[in-house]
Chain A
C-alpha cells in the first residue's frame, strides 16, 4: 500500500524522502518536537504478515496523531522516522521471519512530523503452529539507553546514505 506524502507543517521541518523496502516512497517532514511517552501505558498494535496494521490500542492511536480509521489497513511503516536506519528495520523483520522476538529502541514519527521514543518488542503470533501475524508492544524507554543509541543510529544512517 502506498502511503501519501505528508502535508508540510507550518513549523520548521526537515523534508526527507523515505524509500521503503518494498520500493514505495513517501515524503515526510520531521520536526524537533518530542511527544513524551504516556506514563504507565503500553502502545500496542498488531499487523498481518505483510506489516499491515490490523489492530491498535488507544495509546497507539493517540501517540500516532492519526485517526484509528486511517491506521487500520495502513502499513506499520506509517510510523517510520527517517532518523532510524533501514538496517534496524531489516533486523526486526528478519528476526520475526525467523520466528524470533525482537527488541529495540525506536524513534517513531507522528502525523504532524513530531516524534516519540519507545522501547519496542515485536513477537510473531503463532496459532496452531503457524505464524499468522505480529504483535508489537512499545513501552517507556530509558533515556540513558536512548542517549546511547542516538549516535549509533546516526553512524549507521550516515553509512547507508553514503552507500552507492
Chain B
C-alpha cells in the first residue's frame, strides 16, 4: 500500500527537490510506499484534504488547526528549531522606518500564506491598522512582493521570514525591515490521518532519524530544515492552536 504525503504549498521553490529527497529516504527506511502530493495552491490542498486523499501532511500551522480539530489528524513531528516567523518590510527608499509610520489606506502586498497574513495583521495593530483599513495587493510570490516594495508600488509587503532571508543580498539591501516577528511558538507540523495510525511508528521513526546517516544533512539542507525533525505531542499541537486562536481577533 502506498500512502499519500501532502506537502503544504508554501515552501520555497528551491526546496522542491529537498522534499523528493526526503520522500525517497523515508520510503527506503520505513519500507512504506509514499507518494508525494505537492498542490500548487491552498485551494488545491483543501480539495485533496476534503476528498480524503492525504494520509500524511506537512501542514502550515494555520491549516493544521482544522486538520487536527475537525478532521482528526494526529500531529507527530515538527521541524526542529524552525519556526514560522514573518517580516514586514518596505522599500529602502521609502519614508517609513517603523510599523507605526504606516497609515490607514496604505498599500500592502501579500501572498495567500494565511499564517503570514495573521501574524502580520497582529504586528500592525500598534499602527492602528486593521484588515479593513489596509489596501491589500495580492501577489503570487514573495519575489513579486519584494519587487513591488522596492519599486514603491506598495507601502510595505508581508514575507515569510525564511523567504525574506533567502533573498539575494542585493534584494535585501533594497528593502527595509519594519518589524520581524520573534514568536517561536508557531511552526509547521507533520500530521497523520487516523486510518494510517498503524504505519505511524515506522514513518515517525524514519522521519525523526533523518539526520543521523551520511547524506541526511544534504537532504535537510535542500529542504531548508537543517535541524531535521523532532517529535511532538498532541498537547504540543493543542497549545499552538490555542495560541493561534488568540491571534484570530
Contacts and interface: CB of A to CB of B under 8 A. Distances in A.
B245 interface: yes
Contacts of A122: 246
Nearest to B88: A40
Contacts of B128: 142, 144-145
B245 to A, nearest CB: 5
Given A139-B122, A141-B125, A42 B183 contact: yes
Interface SS majority for chain B = helix
A125 interface: yes
B171 to A, nearest CB: 21
**A44, A119, A122, A136: residue with the most chain B Cβ atoms closer than 10 Å:** A44
B126 interface: yes
A16 B46 CA distance: 55
Contacts, number: 59
A123 B249 contact: no
Given A101-B245, A137-B243, A142-B128, A40 B238 contact: no
Contacts of A40: 123, 179-183
Contacts of B123: 40, 140
A89 to B, nearest CB: 18
A142 B245 contact: no
B14 interface: no
Contact of B183 (A41, A101, A103): A41
Q: What is the interface residue range for chain A against chain B? A: 20 to 34
A123 B125 contact: no
B239 A135 contact: yes
A42 to B, nearest CB: 5
Interface string A114-129: 0000010111010100
Contact of B125 (A119, A127, A137): A119
A29 B211 CA distance: 52
B213 interface: no
A137 B182 contact: no
Interface of B: 122-123, 125-128, 179-185, 235, 238-239, 242-243, 245-247, 249
Interface of A: 38-42, 44, 46, 57-58, 101, 103, 119, 121-123, 125, 127, 135-137, 139-145
